[in-house]
Structure 1
Amino acid sequence: MTGIDEQYVLSTDTRRAEAFSDGVLAIVITLLVLDLRTPSVPPGHLLEGLLAQWPAYLAYVTSYIYVAVVWLNHKAAFKRVVHVDRGLHWANLGVLFTTALLPFPTAVLSRTVLEENPTDIRTAVALYALVGALVCAAWLALFQHLSTHPILLAEGVEAEFFAKERIRAWAGIALYIVAGIIGALIAPPIALAIFLAVPAFYGLTSSGLYSMPAVARAVDDDSGER
């Protein structure tokens, strides 16, 4: 190919990758809700049965937010991409593969909390932490690929943007590892709190760490005008 290394198989159409990703993430979110079931209770005890299923509701909300944040981050990343190559396709598939695993540990965690077996709860927390860390590791691979292949990026987008995004991925990996260790060995509730905090962190920084100073300046300017 003229002007481009033959190791790259470039396409100027990112829409297929984005559409496929949107479809997979939509299915993942749909699968999450399947663990919310009608309680089997005697007549007159429906409210009691519904309230008793609170772990399933909490697990659903946590994982739903996580998948939603994955979609927001995916949208933010591909908004800065104009070409895709084989490596980016594989990195993107890695993100989708790990995210698609989320319904499994979500269901395991909610059911073990309901059964109130301490050993099983610790195992379930460790499983959820493992999958969460894998999702972050997949994002790390995607950010790494984009930071080292500036030819894929839109005009005006610096490779440094995705180099800094690796910090977010590493932070997620570290938090999930810490949560898994704490949950398995010390206190599962602390791990559950971290599981809620990680999607919140990624949601607040979905525009990228590289853009955070500009966002902060815009907020300060807006406050000064009032």
Structure 2
Amino acid sequence: MGKGRLEAFSDGVIAILITIMVLELKVPHGTDLAALRPLVPIFLSYLLSFIYLGIYWNNHHHLLQAVRQVNGRILWANLHLLFWLSLIPFVTGWMGENFAPVPVACYGAVLLLSASAYFILTRILIAYHGQDSTLAIAMGRDVKGKLSLGFYAIAILFALINPLIACAMYILVAAMWLIPDRRIEKTLTS
């Protein structure tokens, strides 16, 4: 079956998630810049999550450009990814309102499970299209994906000791993925 509906549905879900997050930003009651000070942690958690959702949207787009069609297993794997992404607004709000070990660790857990779901989706797509497919060649050993999973797991542990270190690690992983996955672009153009 074609991949168009999967792409459109995924795009729609990610757009809704971003909308939910921005609607959680509350307008301050004061009229001076000092009224914004309590919103700084909330805005920073929103910014990080917006970047993460943008990364997933962008890389999901590139991922699907490298495949021809999908099947039922791929649809379910994609829903698995969307499930974990759908929890990002919740953990974003919790972490922004309560910058403490457990909310920061839960934020990391959602990032870890989202990355795991993305990894599973790529493996199912490769299994369906074959080891000699454009996607399989582009993904290679997926060192960046595996490193990300490790960083998230370590960051979750650090969150329980020092949430700032955990957030620095979340930012580090986001920086690794900020540029769309060039492996797929290079493979598609060659």
Q: CA RMSD in A?
A: 2.4
- Quick check: 2:139–2:184 contact (8 Å CA) kept in 1? no
Normalised TM-score (structure 1): 0.76
Summarize the Cα distance change of 1:129–1:90 in structure 2 as closer, same or farther, 3 Å threshold.
Answer: same
Aligned-pair distance for 1:211? 4.1
- Quick check: 2:18–2:53 contact (8 Å CA) kept in 1? yes
The answer to which structure, 1 or 2, has the higher relative contact order (CA under 8 A, 6+ apart) is 2
What are the Cα deviations for residues 172-220 of structure 1, in whole angstroms up to 9, with x where unaligned? 22111111111112x21111111112122112252238949xx9xxxxx
Whole-angstrom distance in 2 between the partners of 1:48 and 1:19: 42
- Quick check: 2:78–2:121 contact (8 Å CA) kept in 1? yes
Give the secondary-structure state (helix, strand or coil) at the position aligned to 2:160.
helix
Work out which of the residue numbers 39, 43, 47 in structure 1 matches 2:28.
39
- Quick check: 2:3–2:69 contact (8 Å CA) kept in 1? yes
Give the secondary-structure state (helix, strand or coil) at the position aligned to 2:25.
coil
Matched, 1:160 2:137: yes
Matched, 1:169 2:145: yes
What are the Cα deviations for residues 113-154 of structure 1, in whole angstroms up to 9, with x where unaligned? 3xxxxxxx0011110010000000001101111222225x9x
- Quick check: 1:80–1:157 contact (8 Å CA) kept in 2? yes
| 1:6 matched residue in structure 2 | none
Summarize the Cα distance change of 1:22–1:158 in structure 2 as closer, same or farther, 3 Å threshold.
Answer: closer
Where structure 2 has 5 or more consecutive residues not aligned to the other structure, the ranges are none
AA aligned to 1:161 is: A
Q: Percent identity?
A: 30
- Quick check: 2:62–2:185 contact (8 Å CA) kept in 1? no
| 1:206 matched residue in structure 2 | 181
Summarize the Cα distance change of 1:179–1:158 in structure 2 as closer, same or farther, 3 Å threshold.
Answer: closer
- Quick check: 2:135–2:184 contact (8 Å CA) kept in 1? no
Matched, 1:139 2:125: no
Whole-angstrom distance in 1 between the partners of 2:29 and 2:160: 31
Summarize the Cα distance change of 1:158–1:190 in structure 2 as closer, same or farther, 3 Å threshold.
Answer: closer
Where structure 1 has 5 or more consecutive residues not aligned to the other structure, the ranges are 1-10, 114-120, 216-226
Whole-angstrom distance in 2 between the partners of 1:56 and 1:69: 20
AA aligned to 1:144 is: R
Aligned pair count reads: 189
Give the secondary-structure state (helix, strand or coil) at the position aligned to 2:83.
helix
Summarize the Cα distance change of 1:105–1:137 in structure 2 as closer, same or farther, 3 Å threshold.
Answer: same
- Quick check: 1:164–1:210 contact (8 Å CA) kept in 2? no
Work out which of the residue numbers 73, 79, 90 in structure 2 matches 1:93.
79
| 1:222 matched residue in structure 2 | none
Give the secondary-structure state (helix, strand or coil) at the position aligned to 1:53.
helix
Summarize the Cα distance change of 1:78–1:57 in structure 2 as closer, same or farther, 3 Å threshold.
Answer: same
Normalised TM-score (structure 2): 0.90
